Amino acid sequence: MIFNETYTLSNGVKIPKLGLGTWFIDDSVVADAVKSAVKLGYRLIDTAQAYGNEAGVGKGVLTCGVPREEIFVTSKVAAEAKTYEDAKKSIDETLEKMGLDYLDLMIIHSPQPWVEFREDKRYFEENKQVWKALEDAYEEGKLKAIGVSNFLKDDLDNILSDCKVKPMVNQILMHISNTDLDLVDYCKKNDILVEAYSPIAHGEILNQPQIKAIADKYKVSVPQLCIRYTIQMGTVSLPKTANPDHMKTNADVDFEISAEDMETLKNFEKIDNYGESSGFPVYGGKL
């Protein structure tokens, strides 16, 4: 198990290499999922305003039996909040909803509202306003670290060109067959830690025989190979599950993928269709 392994953010805050993603886990059951994860040894819990389960996550954190300061809690400002005032309000609402005095990490969920995701309008000036709200909350002690999600290089350049506090993380879709090596390298050069969400490719990676063959070589499951891959890429891995058995096996990744196999996995043919998961609700129906 790798629960004790951490990265250090640019401001000195330590963050676990493996966390529990909670996307699609209903608010009514997510508290139990959080408590199960913490009992197993997880110390990083990731949620978002868009997930609709912040209250349940907060309840799980506060009733899990482990001191609050030992759990790293992340949430995300809704992609649609694109003014200073809306972002400031959303940060306070998240803290109130979760019943927490502070968050360990708060990030901008997307550079664009989901219905305009990856379209022409880039919201550069608006994202500067949202970033200013995060900076102010950080300076007030409400947030221990701040960052972004789904930001491309020019989105990051926009923030870096005019900020008091640099983004500490960029949480992106990253998995075998979908690894933006240039973006990962750019983040590393700017001391921005990459977090990999959906490291198991929404399950579609399970249908790839070549990946299965490599997993068999290491006597591990495909999900375990996928999680280990993201960790060896130097990123935080955030697999999502409410199943305690899956939580346990997801953390059992104390093996090493060879350099040769890592190169194969880095350059594996891109999956263009995620099947039933292709229309992400949080993306407004967009990929």
Average pLDDT over residues 78-93: 98
51 is catalytic: yes
If pLDDT is split at 50, 70 and 90, which confidence band does 283 have?
A: very low
Q: What is the pLDDT of residues 211-229, one digit of tens each?
A: 999 999 999 999 999 999 9
Distance of CA 92 to the CA centre of its chain: 21
Average pLDDT, the chain: 94
Q: Is 273 exposed, middle or buried (0-12, 13-18, 19+ CB in 10 A)?
A: exposed
If pLDDT is split at 50, 70 and 90, which confidence band does 278 have?
A: low
Q: Which listed residue (51, 123, 197, 229) is catalytic?
A: 51
Q: Are 49 and 77 in contact (CB under 8 A)?
A: yes
Q: Tell me the C-alpha distance between 81 and 233, whole Å.
A: 31
Q: Tell me the C-alpha distance between 113 and 121, whole Å.
A: 10
Q: What is the pLDDT of residues 114-149, one digit of tens each?
A: 999 999 999 999 999 999 999 999 999 999 999 999
